[in-house]
């Protein structure tokens, strides 16, 4: 929200903001310099950040630009920004970059603002930001800070990783694992559909999901904090970032044609009413088997593993009307 003092003087909401961006993200890959300039100017006009941008921490308050250079870099940059006194972290990139930033600032009080620039932009769609950066900044100016839960992946080797949107096990994680990065960069979301249809002739690997005292044999499981899946589809229609639990959707069967039918149900927004689909609300779910898993669209290893929620772990800029 834009703050004012007197009649005409605008007060900038954040005085020590940091913008972490991925130069390889979908929109930025084509013309990073122009998009960064346009974005910083729009943020300044919206009174979210001070006028101008700088790559250095010292000097008068400005928006600090921090590019990523390798996988995992955004987590380190976010930790450094929190430690150096940033009063807001903005992330310009896809869901994978956002995930890394979340892992660097979880449990801090610094607010996170999302600017979509990636392939699927699941979180951007969930928050109503859309794909247009100028419009996204305008909408962001009216967002409010809210403390939200995050998901946490605990693998069978003692490792852990946080996520904001969703964790997937089985079929969709196998698609992520098999995806060619170069093809993804060229084809965008179409690459995921191509990867999915390439599995039509293959039996779907099975695993057990243990949740709320029940055991379910599945080929695909989604533990979601958001309604959107893939940016413009909806599987977990009752999920919300304001809830402290997951909406868990479990899919039975090993026949790949059954999953074509399930995806038709997703497109028709009727999947949760289909035979073989179970929808459960829970704060923890355990998976046993030997299949792949993903979090926020990024490959995350193999089972066994569990997902659990961590309430009140992150401050997120969100629409005031979001429920």
CATH 3.40.50.720 fits 151-311, yes or no: no
**Residue 6 pLDDT:** 31
Q: What pTM value is reported for the model?
A: 0.89
Res. 217 pLDDT band, cuts 50 70 90: very high
Q: Are 252 and 219 in contact (CB under 8 A)?
A: yes
Same fold? 3-142, 151-311: no
Delimit the domains of the chain by residue range: 3-142, 151-311
* Domain boundaries 3-142, corresponding CATH code: 3.40.50.10330
Q: 217-247: buried (b, 16+ CB within 10 Å) or exposed (e) per residue?
A: ebbbbbbbbbbbbbbebbbbeebbbebebbb
For residues 42-80, b (16+ Cβ closer than 10 Å) or e, as one string? Answer: bbbebbbbbeebeeeeeeebbbbbbbbeeeebbbbbbee
pLDDT score, position 197: 52
13-17, 75-79, 172-176, 180-184: which range is least confident on average? 180-184
pLDDT at 34 over 90: no
Mean pLDDT, rounded, for 53-62: 63
Does the pLDDT value for residue 5 go beyond 50?
no
Q: How confident is the model at residue 186 (pLDDT cuts 50, 70, 90)?
A: very low
- Cα separation of 298 and 168, whole Å? 10
């Amino acid at each position: 929200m834009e703050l004012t003092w007197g009649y005409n003087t605008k007060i900038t909401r954040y005085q020590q903001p940091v913008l972490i961006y991925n130069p390889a993200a979908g929109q930025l890959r084509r013309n990073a310099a122009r998009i960064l300039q346009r974005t910083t100017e729009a943020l300044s006009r919206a009174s979210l950040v001070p006028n101008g941008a700088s790559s250095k921490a010292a000097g008068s308050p400005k928006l600090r630009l921090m590019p990523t250079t390798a996988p995992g870099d955004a987590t380190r940059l976010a930790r450094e920004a929190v430690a150096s006194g940033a009063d807001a972290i903005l992330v310009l990139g896809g869901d994978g970059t956002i995930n890394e930033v979340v892992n660097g600032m979880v449990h801090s009080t610094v607010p996170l603002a999302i600017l979509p620039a990636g392939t699927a932009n699941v979180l951007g769609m969930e928050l109503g930001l859309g794909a247009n950066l100028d419009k996204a900044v305008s909408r962001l100016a009216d967002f409010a800070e809210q403390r939200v839960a995050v998901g946490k992946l605990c693998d069978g080797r003692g490792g852990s990783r946080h996520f904001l949107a969703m964790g997937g096990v089985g079929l969709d994680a196998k698609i992520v694992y098999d995806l060619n990065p170069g093809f993804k960069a060229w084809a965008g979301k179409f690459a995921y559909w191509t990867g999915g249809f390439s599995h039509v002739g293959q039996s779907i690997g099975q695993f057990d999901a243990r949740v709320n005292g029940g055991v379910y044999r599945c080929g695909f499981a989604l533990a979601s904090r958001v309604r959107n899946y893939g940016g413009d589809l909806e599987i977990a229609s009752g999920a919300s970032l304001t809830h402290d639990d997951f909406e868990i959707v479990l899919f039975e069967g090993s026949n790949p044609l059954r999953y074509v039918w399930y995806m038709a149900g997703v497109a028709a927004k009727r999947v949760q009413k289909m035979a073989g689909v179970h929808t459960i609300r829970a704060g923890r779910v355990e998976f046993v088997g030997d299949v792949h898993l993903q979090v926020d669209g990024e490959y995350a290893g193999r089972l066994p593993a569990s997902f659990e929620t961590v309430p009140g772990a992150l401050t997120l800029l969100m629409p005031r009307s979001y429920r």
